[in-house]
Amino acid sequence: MKTGRSTAGDTKARILDATEKLFIEVGYEATSLRQVTSRAIVNLAAVNYHFRSKDIMMHAVLSRRLDPLNTQRLALLDACEARWPGDSIRCEHVMGALFVPALQMARDPAVGGPSFLRLLGRVYSDTSPFIQSYLLEHYAPVYGRFFDAFSRALPGLPRQELGWRLQFALKALAGVLACDDLVNLMPAFTQGRQMNDAHVLAQLSAMVLAALTVPAPGSDQQLALQAVFDLNESAQQASKSANDEPPEGSAQDDATRATAIAAATVGKAIRSARGVRNEGASRAAVTSVPVRAREPALSFPSNPLDDWMRMRSRT
């Protein structure tokens, strides 16, 4: 016969497990207490008794998985820095300290299990204020340690450049991890080949390291993209002009007007492409080609680590 204490412990564990699975599937905002009680097979009074609120409950879910992960990551990073001091440390060493503990926890059902990588991906990619606040409180110091290690491994990359590249690469990887669990993710990376964990991690690291070490875009790339912006603008203007013109009385008039518009668009594209080719003699003097102000700037979801990076760059 179970004691009251063991029964209470089982109930609390079921609530945490149910909340974790729902968070992985739908994110923080879409996870409701009603869904949790249904999946954990408990009543709302039990949830209120153990956690008192959704935020406290979610904090417990994340802390039981991520606090041990962060402890292991920092300990392994300390060991790597002792083994490869100063600038002798490589990006692969830092990536290993970041992901080896996560892979180990994903293979151990007692501390994470197969869905652990999906949990990490969801945490990194969820943009709800609660998750952002949790990351800022629990992850910014850890991220700072790893950022300094990456800086030593890539001394030729300015810290501000390293910051946004690292954010982009890790967010992209988080999006992949959030979509699938370890059982389905590994075959996708191994492509049917037999690989140990070090080989799999090398596959993952290669994508991140490529984003960190790719050369900055040159003027040729900027000019080519500017030509595409110009081509798109001319096509939009031609389309708008066609829509603004009053309808003519015959189908022949419509066909003639459409042909003229198409010819004007193609002509603008040819002139734009020719202009790009003719820039060869003067490209050395070109320092930057600004994108037109009316083109919307690309942006990513807000993340507290971005804010932490901006504050760090000003200090």
Instruction: Assess whether 233 and 97 both reside in one domain.
Output: no
Contact 47, 57 (CB under 8 A): yes
Instruction: Assess whether 159 and 276 both reside in one domain.
Output: no
Question: Does some domain include residue 261?
Answer: yes
Which domain does 202 fall in, by range?
64-216+301-315
Tokens of 277: 């080719």
In angstroms, the Cα distances linking 247 to 241, 253, 263 are: 12, 9, 20
Question: Does some domain include residue 32?
Answer: yes
- In the block, which residue shows the tokens 């652990």? 116
φ/ψ (deg, to 5) at 288: -160, 150
58-87 per-position pLDDT tens digit: 999 999 999 999 999 999 999 999 999 998
CB burial class (10 A; 0-12, 13-18, 19+) of residue 278? exposed
Question: Does some domain include residue 293?
Answer: no
188-215 per-position pLDDT tens digit: 666 667 767 787 778 778 888 888 888 8
H helices present in 27-128, as ranges: 33-40, 44-51, 54-83, 91-106, 116-125
φ/ψ (deg, to 5) at 45: -60, -35
Average pLDDT over residues 22-39: 94
Q: Determine which helix (DSSP H) or strand (DSSP E) holds 23, and give its type and residue range.
A: helix 4-26
What own/partner pairs with CB < 8 Å and gap ≥ 24 does 272-276 have?
A: 272/227, 272/230, 272/231, 272/234, 273/227, 275/227, 276/223, 276/224, 276/227
Instruction: Assess whether 96 and 31 both reside in one domain.
Output: no
DSSP 110: T
pLDDT for position 295:
40
CA distance 204 to 183: 15
Nearest to 114 by CA among 245, 21, 18: 21
Instruction: Assess whether 173 and 311 both reside in one domain.
Output: yes
113 backbone φψ class: left, alpha, beta (φ>0; ψ -120 to 50): left
280-307 per-position pLDDT tens digit: 444 444 444 444 444 443 333 444 445 5
184 compared with 156, residue with greater pLDDT: 156
Instruction: Assess whether 170 and 308 both reside in one domain.
Output: yes
Q: How many folded domains does the chain comprise?
A: 3
pLDDT for position 2:
45
Question: Does some domain include residue 286?
Answer: no
Read off the CATH number of the domain in which 41 is found: 1.10.10.60
Instruction: Assess whether 158 and 306 both reside in one domain.
Output: yes
Instruction: Assess whether 231 and 307 both reside in one domain.
Output: no
Contact 27, 9 (CB under 8 A): no
Question: Does some domain include residue 288?
Answer: no
Instruction: Assess whether 196 and 71 both reside in one domain.
Output: yes
What is the residue type of 36?
Answer: V
Instruction: Assess whether 92 and 42 both reside in one domain.
Output: no
CA distance 84 to 102: 22
pLDDT for position 283:
47
119 compared with 302, residue with greater pLDDT: 119
Instruction: Assess whether 114 and 262 both reside in one domain.
Output: no
pLDDT for position 244:
74
Question: Does some domain include residue 292?
Answer: no
Read off the CATH number of the domain in which 179 is found: 1.10.357.10
Which of the four pLDDT bands, split at 50, 70 and 90, describes residue 148?
A: very high
Instruction: Assess whether 164 and 241 both reside in one domain.
Output: no
pLDDT for position 75:
96
In angstroms, the Cα distances linking 114 to 24, 84, 126, 238 are: 12, 32, 20, 54
Instruction: Assess whether 202 and 76 both reside in one domain.
Output: yes
pLDDT for position 230:
93
Average pLDDT over residues 114-139: 87
Which of the four pLDDT bands, split at 50, 70 and 90, describes residue 232?
A: very high
* pTM of the shown model: 0.67
Least confident of 124-138, 186-200, 267-281: 267-281
Across the chain, mean pLDDT equals: 78
pLDDT for position 254:
59
88 compared with 110, residue with greater pLDDT: 88
pLDDT for position 288:
41
